[in-house]
Homo-oligomer: A and B are copies of this chain.
């Protein structure tokens, strides 16, 4: 999935682990991911958390679409930091799901606390990705 997600690829995001209702992903903060005061731009932290959320929520094979997300910033990270996002399923029904994601530095410092809600469609992830495949990808 990190190969097909071109924006995750642009950020060098790696999927490290995935199982039903769970995902772990990481990236290393590059110079071009900093904001105007040399700390990691909030969008980088969000993208990593959101990617782990997407993998975890689609892990049952049913297409799941993000409806609403929330991200708090308990800390900051800097160039060279390795960030690890761990997504867990808090609840799952046929049609909905709730996930939380913690983003930590390699040293274990919390830099992002994320929650996200999905709506599950009635089609399968595999079919949906095939139908929407990038012809050039």
A5 with B67: CB separation less than 8 A: no
Q: For A66, list chain B residues within 8 Å (CB).
A: 42, 73
A98 with B113: CB separation less than 8 A: yes
A47 CB–B CB distance under 8 Å: yes
Q: How large is the interface on A (under 10, 10 to 19, 20 to 34, 35 or more residues)?
A: 35 or more
Q: For A73, list chain B residues within 8 Å (CB).
A: 65-69
Name 21 interchain pairs, CB-CB below 8 A, sorted by A.
Answer: A4-B35, A5-B35, A36-B132, A37-B129, A37-B132, A39-B132, A44-B47, A46-B46, A46-B71, A67-B67, A68-B72, A68-B115, A69-B71, A69-B73, A70-B71, A72-B90, A74-B91, A96-B119, A98-B113, A117-B117, A119-B119
A18 CB–B CB distance under 8 Å: no
B35 with A68: CB separation less than 8 A: no
Cβ contact of A1, chosen from B4, B36, B67, cutoff 8 A: B36
Q: Which residues of A are in contact with B by a Cβ distance under 8 Å?
A: 1, 4-11, 31-39, 41-44, 46-47, 50-51, 54, 65-75, 90-91, 95-96, 98, 100, 110, 113, 115, 117, 119, 128-129, 132-134
